[in-house]
Structure 1
């Protein structure tokens, strides 16, 4: 397992060691002992989520606040997405900055999104099967969001906006400066 720090403190790109032969491949997608040792964190995932989406579907930017905040380990089982994490920790020197990484079934990369970050992704392939682990349970009362096109963040989603498919809820999210953080 290879762990790469991003420019945002606590946010990591994870690449598994893949064993390939004529039968196909095998890899360990998560090992808590190795993960905790390589990141210096002590994460206990309690919930797994999965979503199937078509090209242009943009989900995000979402987070939970307070004691219900969530860290996430995200990956793609089929297809390709552009995954985005935005630092929403007001005391952080990288507040309002983001990292993005292409995650795909082909590259097997994962992104660890710590608590205190908003998260979203857009599907770049015909369809994508997206999977993620959370270290806290979902609580609707603690959910928050930031508009996907907030000009102060200025995310490059890698597709023209005319191709975006966005939920009504995500179309009306506030700017980062007006979000409940």
Structure 2
């Protein structure tokens, strides 16, 4: 892909994630194109259907969150890295929630399980770093913490402040 086409692709995915999180799966494609700074024709050339855009956005957001764990550990100590990742997870779920109905149509069970494993692996990297630093206990699997985070996002229902407080409680339970 040419550099300008790649940039447009990335801007479209970022704009789609923000717009779906804000407006839901029925968000205006024109609004997404406008937010990305491209014409609607560019959006349709890259993503001929709404479902293709939803799936690409989901895949991109999942990959970004999975890749964030080691990147955060390069910049932050394990505990702030873990909390930052948890906040990013809450934002990810908000985007996913905005696309929920469309995702049901485009994602099969294998893809959902693959995404869950990618996120559990990323969280595992952060938990291991916290364990090695002596800050976290070593008897809680990443999958359990991920399920706890998922529950927090359901309870918080878009209230980022509440999600942050509940995430702090989850981290307190993980401390050594």
Hey, which of these two has a bigger chunk of helix by percent?
2
Same fold (TM over 0.5): no
TM-score, length basis structure 1: 0.24
TM-score, length basis structure 2: 0.25
Give the number of the structure with larger relative contact order, counting CA–CA contacts within 8 Å between residues 6 or more apart: 1
Hey, which of these two has a bigger chunk of strand by percent?
1
